[in-house]
Chains A and B, each alone.
Chain A
Amino acid sequence: MSKRYGFVMLVYRCIDCKACQVACWAENEVPLGKTRNWITRDGYRGTFPHLSVDYLPGNCMHCDNAPCVSVCPTGASSKREDGIVAVNYKKCIGCKYCMVACPYDARYFHPEKEVADKCTMCKHRLAEGKEPACVTTCVGGARVFGDLNDPHSRVSKLLRKHRHKVLLPEQGTKPSIYYIMERPQEGGNLE
């Protein structure tokens, strides 16, 4: 079976340090003021001193049913067999339809290349046998990357074992980025 890449975000393990963002900026030469990935804060819930908060790492959701792909007038955006939603810069005319269509606000307009740019899952790194830059550097170990089609991959095991969700399921986008919100129990294990 072919590979189908995706992320599992172990939300509990995200410490909001944003190393993933800086690593991505360097790896992908993202222009200042733009970003391909992010961390959003969910909380604080409650009032002092009964509080909780979660930090959700994010990037392009590489949707199976990607609105950016369906609105693209030139075919520049496409869903690849390996799960990556890719942008062909040569075909992109910078019309920004995809930016409007994306419910996750995952794209930005590249001021020099004049294209709608976004996360590529670091496909150039995958080709070298490396993980995406954001995953490699993730200090808390929140970002897990792998082949969703491989039942032995860490992402598959995590998804089998833990309840998970996708963001904005009501949009019907079928993202390839899954979120595990569970906190470890004492003596338990989040793996």
Chain B
Amino acid sequence: MPKQSHSKIPTPQPGETFHWNRYFTRRQFIKGSAAVLATAAAAAGGIKTGFKENQVAYASEETSGKTVAIPTICENCVWRCGAIAYVKDGILTKLEGNPEHPNSRGKLCPRGNAGIKVLYDPDRLQFPMIRAGERGSGLWRRVSWEEALDFTAENMQRIKDEHGPEAMIMSSTHNLTQPYFENLLNAFGTPNYGTQRSLCFNAMTIAFTYTYGIAQPGVDYDNCRYIIYTGRNLAEAISNSETQKMMEFAARGGKIVVLDPRFTITASKAVEWLPVKPGTDLAFFLAVNHVIVTEELYDRDFIEKHTVGFEKLKEALQSYSPEWAAERCEIDAGTIRRIAREFASYRPAAVAHPNWRTSNFRNSFQTQRAIAILNALMGNWGKPGGLTPEGEESGPELGSLPQPPYPKVRAPRLDGVPWKYPLVPLKYGVIQEIRDALLTGKPYQGKGWLVYRQNPLMSIPERRKTLTALKNLDFLAVIDILPNDTAYYADVILPESTYLERWDPIAPAGNKLFLRQPVVEPLYDTMSGLMILKELGKRLGLEDYFPYEKEQDIIKAQIAPFNIDFDELVKKGFYEVKESEDHEMHFQTKSGKVEINSSLLESVGEPGVPVWQEPPAPPEGQFYLLTGKVAQHSQFTTQNNQWLMELTPDNPLWINAAVAKRLGIKDNQKVVVESKVGKVISRANVTEAIRPDCVFLAAGFGHLSKALTIGYGAGVSNSALHETNTDKLSGCQALSETFVTVKPLNSEEIAGGETS
């Protein structure tokens, strides 16, 4: 058994009130091998949260003193890598990639390796708690699960009774339990669903869905010869298997072209780096398409057989010559022409990568459409070296538990889908609009918000506004594993078990079904998301929507269509399904073909083919504020991880060396960065590796929660600076359309400090 904590401050007992900051900050850091073990069963109050129900598959007398290997799935980002956990006497000592899993291929990225420090994070939420002072005062009362769940459900029911179910907002991060979160949402009857999608890659997924019928196609790296990445930085925004394949592709002599205003690590591996002007990658791709169409370099057969709208494209592209584009994107016309010809010469083994967010402008949807169409011109769909139709939703069809139909929704959505955003799928939504609707009270006033392992306060632009919106709520409940920023301002916190302590529904990957299972017993008085949702559902009279007694019941239902023995699945961690031989060329679009001209776009009065949309540019003396990732962090969730923070402890402001010299800014010097909506004090990273008209801040830092003793005070938040600019077609937040001033910090600024 793990050693007891050496903490001087005792864990609060049920019913005891404590001050969060004091409780958390004065504790010592505890090493993984000597983790805290709270008495999990003690405060359970009749609910079976303990491990009797959650029995770790391999813990037994036989394994005492031995290291056992338990297959499971990582959750330090959304890539869902298969992992193998090495556990000795109930203590997790190592995580490695599972060679059987196509997403990890036997390797884990730094975040995956650092999963141990998620489990043994000294600041983890250890028990349910209810606010005992003003919102954000840090005063909490430890309560039993019974009381916390009753309190949450009573408040949700009260809001439903007084204002209707739509007054309750529910939002969730992208995770395996999400379908059951959606169950609670739909059964409760609220249409107000928030996901991170509109702050992420809506532009890409919607553009590819309306072109190919698949949101996120893959790339056949093994046979590819030429790839253009646009703002996709796979070396730092690691998607494990894809990053591995990109490097294998590059080492084999495949040609990589990178469009990015920054010299990212991916750009440093490229054959050609094109430091494109922000927001103008659309011009580049319109011109590449122009060259390919006018010089007839496209796959005529594919265009004729499998696409619609080519003639309209041809007409629309006429004016987008390389010379026209060069004036806008600052890439030489000769280079554009050469790349277009070169790229086409490799077809079908040439891919314009679907990317992630490209340049993060409102016109990114048009950019993504132009990229989707460029691939169609190459006729690379399903061909060796081309795009592959392996969407995230693809894979074997799983079984499910029977449940009643959902009640009819009676109100429009607060986020404007579809009445303001007709093209945005309901499952994606436009979360920044929810925040704004809370502030305006239009079309009606939202009253409560249930947040599931998400952190709207850190993710939505204009943090100051978000904080006001959250403070104005009647009720805010948070389910999470860490005392994150949104939790800091909540009324009740329901602590979830980490991914290393709980069961989740099955995750298919390719033709394999993978299992996430607990590798150690829960360290604290926490529950799995599946059980928290069920317990809430029960209290809201929605028990029929959660027809399971324990998590395994769901998994057993999922694998029912296959001839799988549950115990064998647990032991092996996956099951391989026979691959289907269905390679028919059919597209899930309105026409059943690749829609070069989108009838859906036309139906809402928009041009059916991509057109130039002028991006805004910073006025004299201001910079584009760019954002992006570092390989050691995942959004807002990893800044309390001891190991990852040792590697990357903050997010300095990248600024071009020549510009910094002109402004009198030295490397490492404190600088004031100010946008229309906020101001932060950062530290300068003076570098050659960025365009002179841009500055860059990595995402995820600048936490407000003082309960994150490692992450609090580290770096700055770009949500504090970001203005809200939403694309009317994709609902995507244009993260690069915020312009900032940068100046060296002087004494009066120190007094002001961070204002947002």
Which A residues contact B (CB, under 8 angstroms)?
10, 12-13, 15-19, 21-23, 25-27, 29, 32-33, 44, 46-49, 51-53, 55, 133, 136-141, 184-191
- In the complex, what distance in Å separates the CA atom of A51 from the CA atom of B690? 10
Contact check, B110 vs A22: say whether CB atoms are below 8 A apart: yes
Say yes or no: is B643 at the interface (Cβ < 8 Å to chain A).
yes
Contact residues in A for B646 (Cβ distance below 8 Å): 32-33
A25-B643, A185-B253 known; A17+B656 contact, CB < 8 A? no
Say yes or no: is B94 at the interface (Cβ < 8 Å to chain A).
yes
Say yes or no: is B299 at the interface (Cβ < 8 Å to chain A).
no
The residue of chain B having its C-beta at the shortest distance from the C-beta of A46 within the complex is B688
Contact digits for B673-710, partner A, Cβ 8 Å, 1 yes 0 no: 00000000000000111111000000000000000000
- In the complex, what distance in Å separates the CA atom of A13 from the CA atom of B236? 13
Contact digits for B235-264, partner A, Cβ 8 Å, 1 yes 0 no: 110101001100110111101000000010
- Which of B244, B247, B631, B691 is close to A18, meaning CB atoms less than 8 Å apart? B631
The residue of chain A having its C-beta at the shortest distance from the C-beta of B255 within the complex is A186
Contact residues in B for A13 (Cβ distance below 8 Å): 247, 250-251
Contact check, A189 vs B248: say whether CB atoms are below 8 A apart: no
User: Separation in Å of the B584 CB from the closest CB of chain A?
Assistant: 33
Contact residues in B for A27 (Cβ distance below 8 Å): 94
**Interface residues contributed by chain B, number (CB under 8 Å):** 53
- Which of B244, B643, B647, B687 is close to A139, meaning CB atoms less than 8 Å apart? B244
Among B22-48, those with CB < 8 Å from A are: 29, 31, 33
- Which of A23, A25, A55, A184 is close to B251, meaning CB atoms less than 8 Å apart? A184
- In the complex, what distance in Å separates the CA atom of A186 from the CA atom of B647? 33
Contact residues in A for B642 (Cβ distance below 8 Å): 32
- Which of A12, A44, A52, A139 is close to B107, meaning CB atoms less than 8 Å apart? A139
Contact check, B247 vs A17: say whether CB atoms are below 8 A apart: no
A48-B656, A139-B238 known; A29+B109 contact, CB < 8 A? no
Segment of B143-151, B160-168, B265-273, B520-528 in the binding face: B265-273
- In the complex, what distance in Å separates the CA atom of A44 from the CA atom of B269? 13
Contact residues in B for A191 (Cβ distance below 8 Å): 251-252
A19-B113, A27-B94, A190-B251 known; A49+B107 contact, CB < 8 A? no
Which of A17, A21, A52, A53 has the largest number of chain B CB atoms within 10 A?
A17
Contact check, A18 vs B657: say whether CB atoms are below 8 A apart: no
Say yes or no: is B106 at the interface (Cβ < 8 Å to chain A).
yes
Contact check, B248 vs A141: say whether CB atoms are below 8 A apart: yes
Contact check, B253 vs A17: say whether CB atoms are below 8 A apart: no
The residue of chain A having its C-beta at the shortest distance from the C-beta of B244 within the complex is A139
- Which of A16, A22, A48, A186 is close to B690, meaning CB atoms less than 8 Å apart? A48
Contact residues in A for B113 (Cβ distance below 8 Å): 19, 22-23, 26, 137
User: Separation in Å of the B520 CB from the closest CB of chain A?
Assistant: 15
Contact check, B94 vs A53: say whether CB atoms are below 8 A apart: no
- Which of A10, A18, A137, A185 is close to B96, meaning CB atoms less than 8 Å apart? A137
A17-B110, A17-B632 known; A137+B692 contact, CB < 8 A? no
The residue of chain B having its C-beta at the shortest distance from the C-beta of A184 within the complex is B253
Contact residues in A for B107 (Cβ distance below 8 Å): 19, 136-139
- In the complex, what distance in Å separates the CA atom of A138 from the CA atom of B250? 16
Q: 17 A-B contacts, Cβ less than 8 Å apart?
A: A10-B251, A12-B251, A13-B251, A17-B235, A18-B632, A19-B113, A26-B113, A44-B687, A47-B688, A49-B691, A51-B689, A137-B107, A137-B108, A138-B107, A184-B250, A186-B255, A191-B251
Contact residues in B for A55 (Cβ distance below 8 Å): 265
- In the complex, what distance in Å separates the CA atom of A10 from the CA atom of B251? 9
User: Separation in Å of the B698 CB from the closest CB of chain A?
Assistant: 14
